[in-house]
Structure 1
């Protein structure tokens, strides 16, 4: 099956405040469901590296999933994440 470029928007909120925003992930996937799974894996990988005090790995290409802008103290609301196909 053919892969498309996807954008996954995940609402974020800062613990203990009323600050909020959106963390945006982009990458290739066959479906929106796979895009959300890939975005979550990228976030989990980044979180593990941050917890180990290691550098968060960068995406090799613009279409690779990564989570370079990880913010400590912010919760990602994966239950409210949305996705859409985007033009490369």
Structure 2
């Protein structure tokens, strides 16, 4: 069995017209590979959209989604998954891998 580690998945997002703003949505959680991380991030997003009016639920392996911007398009083909490293200046609060 492969050992899981924490991954960060960054997905470009685009606002609907006329704003045309751009940004990134970031997902984090445990996975055994970058490919699995992309799948789990997409699943977390789908779950969040389906349950938009329900409270956020974090899966046991850490994947969840919050702060979804209604109407914005996520560019999943351009998403990138990399092993997560904590910021140098602080440690994440509230995150329990």
TM-score calculated relative to the size of structure 1: 0.87
TM-score calculated relative to the size of structure 2: 0.79
Matches within 5 A, 1:43-58: 43-50=45-52, 54-58=53-57
Query: 4+ runs of 1 displaced by more than 2 Å?
Result: none
Where structure 2 has 5 or more consecutive residues not aligned to the other structure, the ranges are 87-97
Where structure 1 has 5 or more consecutive residues not aligned to the other structure, the ranges are none
> Which has the bigger relative contact order, CA under 8 A and spacing at least 6?
1
Q: Which has the higher helix share?
A: 1
Corresponding residue to 1:32 among 31, 34, 42: 34
Count of matched residue pairs:
84
Backbone CA RMSD of aligned residues: 1.6
